[in-house]
Chain A
Amino acid sequence: MIVTASQDAFASPVESWVRVSVKLRTMRRALLVALGVVVALVAAVLSVIAGSGLAAVVAVVVVVAICAGAFVVIGRNYDSWGYAERGADLLVTHGVMWRRLVVVPYGRMQLVDVTAGPIERKFGISTLRLHTASAGTDARIHGLTAAEANRLRDRLAALGESQSAGL
């Protein structure tokens, strides 16, 4: 019952949320595995140097367990991301433990940023950020494909222009 209420409060105002690219999940999981392998290797090598084979095994098991947990968390976090374009505003939702929903009217957008770091570029995704005159507006969408990010940016810029309101 509690779950339904929470889902209702974060339901999409249109048919459904547009989900972000699955490459976001892939990228985060790949980074996690890479980090896990490095940490496990270092821990194991240090344990062996210290002369304890058992410690090495324990260290690796702990690292693998943590990574498995984080693997699931990344999946759930990915599932929580969504956005929707309405007639006059853009909605973005994300978060599992801390759920967020942001509504930004197109007329209030001052700036639309599309950024992609080196690793994001490798996976062909970018991050889109919306800025308004408020510092509190925290509207960003991770894991958009480059094409979708550009389409959204151009559309938002055009809508922002046509619906622009003075302060």
Chain B
Amino acid sequence: MTAPEDETLSGDQAWRSGDQAWRRRGGRLHPLTPIVRAARVLVSLAALGTYNLEKVRHAGWWLPVIVVGVLLVGLGASALSWAFTRFAIDGGEVHIDSGVLFRRSRQVRIDRLQAIDIVQPLLARALGLAELKLDMAGGSEGRVRLGYLRLDEAQALRAALLAMAAGLDHRTPEAPQRPLVHCSGGAIVGSALLSTPALIGFIWVAAFLAGAIASGHPGVFTGALAGVVSVFSAVWQTIQQHFGFTVADSPDGLRLRHGLFETRAQTVPPGRVQAVRIVQPLMWRVFGWVRVDANIAGYAGHRAEDGRQHNSVLLPVGSREQALLVVGRALPGVDIDAVHMTRVPGRAKWRSPLLWWTYRAGADEAIVSIRSGFLTKVHAVMRHEKIQSVRLSVGPWQRALRLATVHVDSTKGPVDVVLRHRDLGEGRRIVDAEVVRAERGRALRMPDRWMTTNSGPATNG
């Protein structure tokens, strides 16, 4: 039924066309890779130029020479790096050798994959190329980029890697997918404009506009613009990152596709979602919108590498029913609304006068669940077996009121499961109960190769 771990994929096996292409190239990336990479230099040069428009306008003949020179150097370096890079899939591992002066050889265990993304920047999309990003647990070193490949190669490779990660034969055809949710463009734009930072931006603009009119000095208004630009560029980033967001379900896990210029197709295998939260910012209530975020090991902490926050959003905007649908797939067999939630003792109002009445928490056999927030509502849940550690903390003011806060630690990410201001004795009982449930959960947990259980669907290898 399953492929043995030490199996080597040799060239004579029946690979689909996409798989064979990189083999025919001798394990190389696509020859157009250097051009796509060098195009990034052009983009940063253009950005530099727009910031120094005055200097560019008064520049002499040397400017084009420098630009062309920088481009050629970038192209040459990318070409060299391409020529020295080889990859292969072998014995349950991806091998990548790279580096011109300093050689680097990496082995990636396929059964430890946390998620696979296919990323297409604008130029790559025009050329029909894509980059494969493999997320492993463990910081920025745990992220492997394989790019660029032809789009069909990248997809075939992803299917093969996911099949192997599931414990199936690599020739298993790509799992069929079933669309769950599609976010309309209007909802994406509307939700970004109604998000809290954007609202603060609007109020900021309105306040300075009023100030400018009242004082009769237009300078007051233009002075405020600089701050606003950064807020709205963040809003624009969100829109262009999430545009056309679709969530689909497949035996490989959740498939997310999104992006306006740079498109990204993410696959999060089953059991890799550590914790989930449903968030509702203040103004989204008008439309009944919510967002679903998740902690996924390997997704956090990569900000430095490609300069932007990693997408840990499972659904950028949708109705609560859609959110529950996505959460239900991210945490199979869990009904997050069935958990009996209890409030905190009334004396917590002396510690947290504004929010004490919003804190609710509960647990059942599978998950621990919290709700909190008044302006922005948050509902966070986590499976017991995903708990990394449990903490009880009591500050001086809490101790006087006999209250305690319980932190249920998950991996890095946007979701924090914190049970604030519980009764002191209850807090300790929660800690002890969580530890026991987590231990029991780990004993029964899904194996890393999620198709190798008896409960998994039977498949012929």
Contact = CB atoms under 8 A, between A and B. Distances in A.
Contacts of A11: 428
Best-buried of A98, A107, A133 by chain B (most CB within 10 Å):
A133
Nearest to B401: A2
A79 B416 CA distance: 31
A52 interface: no
Interface in B409-436: 409-412, 416, 424-425, 427-428, 431-432, 435
Interface in A85-134: 88-89, 97-105, 107-108, 132-134
Contacts of B274: 167
Given A103-B435, A133-B388, A167-B274, A5 B411 contact: no
Interface stretch (A42-50, A56-64, A136-144): A136-144
Contacts of A104: 388-389
Nearest to A13: B432
Nearest to B447: A166
A102 to B, nearest CB: 5
A96 B432 CA distance: 21
Contact of B399 (A99, A132, A167): A99
Nearest to B406: A101
Contacts of B410: 134, 136
A14 interface: no
Contacts of A135: 412
B359 to A, nearest CB: 18
A132 B407 CA distance: 14
Given A105-B439, A136-B409, A167-B137, A98 B391 contact: no
Interface residues of B, number: 42
Given A98-B393, A98-B396, A167-B297, A9 B409 contact: no
Given A6-B399, A132-B389, A136-B407, A98 B394 contact: yes
B108 interface: no
A134 B390 CA distance: 11
B411 A9 contact: no
Nearest to B298: A167
Interface string A1-21: 010011011110100000000
Nearest to A86: B435
B448 interface: yes
B424 A9 contact: yes
A165 interface: yes
A88 B432 CA distance: 12
Given A6-B394, A100-B393, A101-B392, A132 B114 contact: no
Contact of B428 (A8, A98, A108, A137): A8
Contacts of B303: none
A166 B448 contact: yes
A11 B274 CA distance: 30
Nearest to A104: B389
Given A133-B138, A138-B391, 8 more contacts: A8-B425, A9-B424, A9-B428, A88-B439, A99-B392, A136-B416, A166-B445, A167-B137
Q: Which 10 A-B pairs have the closest CB atoms?
A: A134-B388, A134-B409, A101-B392, A136-B409, A132-B388, A9-B428, A137-B389, A99-B394, A104-B389, A133-B411
11 contacts: A9-B424, A89-B435, A99-B393, A101-B392, A105-B442, A108-B388, A134-B388, A134-B409, A134-B410, A137-B391, A138-B391
